Amino acid sequence: MTIRNGQSGGRPARRFISLRTKLIGFVSLIIVVICSALGVYFIQQRAEVMDSSLNALILKTALITVVIILCGIAVTIVLARRIITPLKCLAGGASRVAEGDLTVSVTPTTHDEVGQLTEVFTHMTESLKERDVAISSHIQTITKQVRELAALNKISMAVATTLEIDKLLATVLRLLIQNVGFKNARLVLYDSDRRVVYGSRLAGVPEEVDREWRKVEVSVQDDGSLLAELLIHGRPVLIEDIDTAALRLTPFNLKPIRAAGVISIVCAPLKSKEHILGYIGAARGAQRCTQEDLDLLVTIASAVAVAFDNARAYQQLEHLAQTLEQRVQHRTQLLLEANRRLQELDKLKSDFVSTVSHELRTPMTSIKGYVDNILDGLTGALTERQSYYLNRVKSNVERLTRMINELLDLSRIEAGKVDLNLGNVRMHEFVSEVVEGFQVMAQQKGLTLRMHQPDELPVIRCDHDKLHQVLTNLIQNAIKFTPTGGEVRVESQVRDDGFLTIGVIGTGCGILPHELDKVFEKFYRGESGSPDDPRWGLGLAIAKSLVKLHGGQIWVESTPGQGSRFYFTVPIAPPPPVNSFPRM
């Protein structure tokens, strides 16, 4: 195939023609090959015609290519608007949500997957916004509760450490205003016995208003009023609107409320151990109170009631202690004065007894001497009747002499003028000597007087005469209270603790149990004694004093109807020196 070239232009034109010629040759070759394969035969045409056709083909191809490119660009722009732009919007919204802006809202523009994704993102944003609102609300609630708990804890600690009533009430009102957030508060005390409210304290009002209402006392009646609801029935009250509840409010409540300008109040009774002690009222000024305010005030009122009850009990106890102290001081002064007078009277009595005893002792000695002389026949012979009466006189004189001697001994003991004349005493011989001295008296009464003691008893350093007086008194009493045919036994025993025990046992009437602690008291005469018994009841008291002076003890054991057993101890070692004897 031959192709003609046109007229030559410039160098670029020649290059284009050469390129076109090569391209035409290459395309023709391809067409010939393809047509040969398909069995197609070509008819040779002129070169000019073919060149014109090829140019038209190239132009069409170029136009189609341009159209395709433009369609691709258009399709790309459309796709970008439907996919990329919404995704950019979603990305921007996500960034703002990540930064904490939950007000972002992305509107879906299609119904494909991108539109669905946009709707999901919008729902997610709304959910986050709702959760954020809920969390904020919970945080506010928790913050409020924490603040209220902190205030409640502070109030509880403050009232628990306060025992002065005035200080306690002032502290409660101050903390209600400062820590709980109330604008006004009132605390009123209640006397349930008189059904009267008193001692009102106000906070959040002028001081003159507070002072004015402190002095007011109002009786409480069960008339459906606010006071009756709180103080008689013990129920907390929430009044959301003062105007609608004005009929339930007495002037005691309404006047200070109007003066403070509040529109709503909460009140809670002060209850402790089922007793109503008063009530607490609070308000938030121009803001309405809620059920939460009432619940909080009820909790505070419980703690305040217990603290107030404790403070009042402490105040009463303190007053009682002061009164008791004053009474004790007064009674102490009375007792001191009475004791002083008793000491003076006791001294006068002792002086009187000592003086009278000494004054009686001399004439008694003279009378006894004259009677003995008459009985001895110095004044002549006596008739039997005269001898009988003179012997009676002698016996009574001897009895009076013994009584006088006992009074003198008692006076010396009470005056602390008794001293021990210590000496070495062989106790075996001492006991035998005293017992033998009463054998005649025992035989005359028909009694058996026995002695049971070891063959050897220690030598004790003691006052012979005073121990002789003690043992003599015990044996005399045993013989006196043991009936005819009975037995009196004297026993001695050395104990392991360094004491010698001497006992006098009689089979007499015995001593009643309630008298055992009294037989050693001065002037005591037991119920079992005879009314005609001439004794004064001083012998055992003197014996007890003398035994104690030696450092020993004396006691009695008895079974009514079987007899009594009197024991006393004497230390084997010498007793400590005693300058004076303690008063009985």
pLDDT at 82: 65
Residue 8 scores a pLDDT above 70: no
H/E element, 280: strand 275-283
The sheet carrying 499-506 orders its strands as: 448-452, 487-494, 499-506, 563-571, 554-559
What average pLDDT does the structure give for the chain?
A: 79
Which strand ranges, in their side-by-side order, compose the sheet holding 184-191? 218-219, 196-203, 184-191, 275-283, 265-272, 237-239
Average pLDDT over residues 344-364: 72
- Would the pLDDT of 579 be above 50? no
Range with the poorest average pLDDT among 10-19, 89-98, 360-369, 552-561: 10-19
Q: What is the CATH number of domain 419-571?
A: 3.30.565.10
Looking at 31-35, 527-531, 580-584, which range is the least confident one? Answer: 580-584
- In degrees rounded to 5, what are phi and psi of residue 564? -130, 155
- Under the banding of pLDDT at 50, 70 and 90, the label for residue 450 is very high
Residue 565, sorted as left (phi over 0), alpha (psi -120 to 50) or beta, turns out to be: beta
Q: Which residues contact 237 (CB under 8 A, 6 or more apart)?
A: 226, 229, 230, 266, 267, 294
Asked if residue 27 has pLDDT above 60, the reply is no
Domain 158-315 fold is Beta-Lactamase (3.30.450)
Domain ranges in the chain are: 90-157, 158-315, 419-571
Residues 156-182 have pLDDT tens digits of 666 666 667 788 888 888 888 887 888
Give pLDDT tens digits for 464-498.
988 998 999 899 889 988 899 999 999 999 988 88
Question: Contact, 572 vs 458, CB < 8 A?
Answer: yes
Look up residue 6 and give its two tokens. Answer: 């046109």
Tens digits of per-residue pLDDT, 253-306? 888 888 888 899 999 999 888 889 999 999 998 889 999 889 888 988 888 888
User: Would you state the structure tokens that stand for residue 412, as one six-digit string?
Assistant: 């010396």
Tell me what pLDDT residue 456 has.
Answer: 86
pLDDT at position 5 is: 41
What's the pTM value of the predicted model, to 2 decimals?
0.42
**Does residue 16 carry a pLDDT above 90?**
no
